Structure 1
């Protein structure tokens, strides 16, 4: 995908869509149901999120990092609240 061609708003919208799908999956799992999007089980979701993060950082955008709940370590541009900045 050509992330450079997207607007800032589009990048955020796509990133928030990943977050929403992850939250929905987690909620369904909590109810004992199967996740619809399988965000945690499908590596392409994380890659898509990473590509979006890369482009947003390249543009010096501020955003809240998705918490994958897998013991991720804060990146060099991440503050204590999870927001990224250049």
Structure 2
């Protein structure tokens, strides 16, 4: 995808869409249901997010990085 062709607002919207899909999947999983978007199980989601991050950083945009560790064990310290 040619991320350079998108506006800053478009990049932000796509990135936040990934964050929203991830949150929805996590909420469904917590309820014992199947994830709807399968964000954690589909590598292309992470690649899309990483590509967006590269472009946003290149432009000097400020954004909160998606925390992919929510599904992993937490260290005890």
Q: TM-score, normalised by structure 1?
A: 0.80
Report the structure, 1 or 2, having the larger strand content: 1
Unaligned runs of 5+ in 1: 72-86
Which runs of at least 4 in structure 1 moved beyond 3 Å after TM superposition?
none
Matched residues in 2 for 1:67 and 1:12: separation?
16
Alpha-carbon separation, structure 2, partners of 1:42 and 1:29: 15
Q: Which residue of 2 aligns with 1:18?
A: 18
Total equivalences in the alignment: 71
Unpaired segments ≥5 residues, structure 2: none
Aligned-partner Cα distance in 2 for 1:49–1:26: 17
TM norm structure 2: 0.90
1:27-38 pair list within 5 angstroms: 27-38=27-38
Looking at secondary structure, tell me which structure has more helix per residue: 2
Q: Distance in 1 between matches of 2:58 and 2:51?
A: 11
Please provide the CA RMSD for this pair. 1.1
